[in-house]
C-alpha cells in the first residue's frame, strides 16, 4: 500500500511521490523539511548527502531537488527501498543516487568508500538512546567530512549526545514533539 506526499521545495517543488502507508513509518513533516533546507541554504548545493533510516526517501529526494550532487539512501525495509527506487526513476534521479538495502548500524560500521558533506538521520522514535550509536559510528568511521553537518531528527524526550570526540551539538530546533539536532566538528562549524 502507498500514499503520496508533496515535495516542498527546490526544482521538484509541488511534485508528488509515493510513500508507504503501512508499517512503522513517520514522514518528516513538510515544515521540518523546509526548515532543514532553509538552515542548510547554500551548503546543500553540490554536496554529497547521506540519508539514514531513509524510509520514503523524501528528505534525500528534496536534497536533490535543492541541488545536492549525490544522495545515498540507507533503509532496511525492502518495500521502502523499492518505493525509493521507483520515485527516483519517476524523477530521473537514478544517476545521482545510491540506494542501500541495509541496517543503518551495519552500514555505519563499515569503512566508508566516500565521505559526506551532510548526513541526515531520522531513526524510529522507539530507537531511543540507541541513537547515540549513530553519532558514535559516524565519527569513529569518518563518514562525515571535517566541515560537514550531521542532522538527527528525534523525539523531544530522547536524550542525545552533546559531544562525541570532536563532534559537537551546535543547536536544536523544536517542532512540537519533533526536534532537529545539528552537529559539527569543533572549530569548524561552531
Could you tell me if residue 40 is inside a domain?
Answer: yes
The whole-number pLDDT of residue 190 equals 45
What's the grid cell of residue 113?
Answer: 568508500
Of 50, 59, 44, the residue nearest 5 (C-alpha): 59
Could you tell me if residue 97 is inside a domain?
Answer: yes
pLDDT tens digits, one per residue of 51-109: 999 998 999 999 999 999 999 999 999 999 999 999 999 999 999 999 999 999 999 99
Between CA 99 and CA 107 the distance in angstroms is 12
Could you tell me if residue 141 is inside a domain?
Answer: yes
- Of the ranges 4-13, 22-31, 36-45, 163-172, which one carries the lowest mean pLDDT score? 22-31
Give the single-character DSSP code of 128: G
Of 100, 43, 113, the residue nearest 72 (C-alpha): 100
- φ, ψ for residue 2, nearest 5 deg: -140, 160
Which helix (H) or strand (E) segment holds residue 97: the answer is: strand 97-101
The CATH number linked to 99 is 3.40.50.150
Could you tell me if residue 84 is inside a domain?
Answer: yes
For residue 120, pLDDT over 70 is answered with: yes
Residue bearing cell 524510509 = 55
Of 40, 100, 83, 99, the residue nearest 65 (C-alpha): 40
Provide the domain limits for residue 178: 2-185
pLDDT tens digits, one per residue of 134-177: 999 999 999 999 999 999 999 888 888 888 888 999 999 998 88
The whole-number pLDDT of residue 33 equals 84
For residue 180, pLDDT over 70 is answered with: yes
Between CA 173 and CA 160 the distance in angstroms is 14
- Of the ranges 22-26, 45-49, 100-104, which one carries the lowest mean pLDDT score? 22-26
Could you tell me if residue 190 is inside a domain?
Answer: no
Angle among Cα 163, 168, 169 to the nearest 5 degrees reads 95
Number of domains in the chain: 1
Which residues, including other chains, have CB under 8 Å from residue 182's CB and lie 6 or more apart?
A: 39, 149, 150, 151, 169, 170, 171, 172, 173
Amino acid at each position: 500500500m502507498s500514499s503520496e506526499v508533496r515535495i516542498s521545495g527546490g526544482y521538484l517543488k509541488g511534485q508528488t511521490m509515493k510513500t508507504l502507508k503501512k508499517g512503522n513509518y513517520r514522514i518528516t513533516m513538510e515544515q521540518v523539511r523546509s526548515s532543514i533546507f532553509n538552515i542548510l541554504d547554500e551548503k546543500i548545493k553540490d554536496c554529497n548527502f547521506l540519508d539514514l533510516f531513509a524510509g520514503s526517501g523524501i528528505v534525500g529526494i528534496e536534497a536533490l531537488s535543492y541541488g545536492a550532487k549525490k544522495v545515498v539512501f540507507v533503509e532496511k525495509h525492502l518495500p521502502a527501498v523499492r518505493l525509493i527506487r521507483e520515485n527516483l526513476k519517476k524523477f530521473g534521479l537514478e544517476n545521482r543516487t545510491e540506494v542501500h538495502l541495509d541496517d543503518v548500524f551495519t552500514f555505519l560500521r563499515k569503512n566508508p568508500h566516500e565521505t559526506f558533506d551532510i548526513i541526515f538521520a531520522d531513526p524510529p522514535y522507539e530507537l531511543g538512546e540507541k541513537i547515540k550509536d549513530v553519532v558514535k559510528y559516524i565519527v569513529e568511521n569518518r563518514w562525515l567530512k571535517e566541515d560537514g553537518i550531521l542532522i538527527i531528527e528525534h523525539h523531544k524526550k530522547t536524550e542525545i549526545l552533546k559531544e562525541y570526540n570532536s563532534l559537537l551539538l551546535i543547536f536544536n530546533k523544536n517542532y512540537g514533539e519533533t526536534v532537529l539536532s545539528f552537529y559539527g566538528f569543533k572549530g569548524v562549524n561552531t
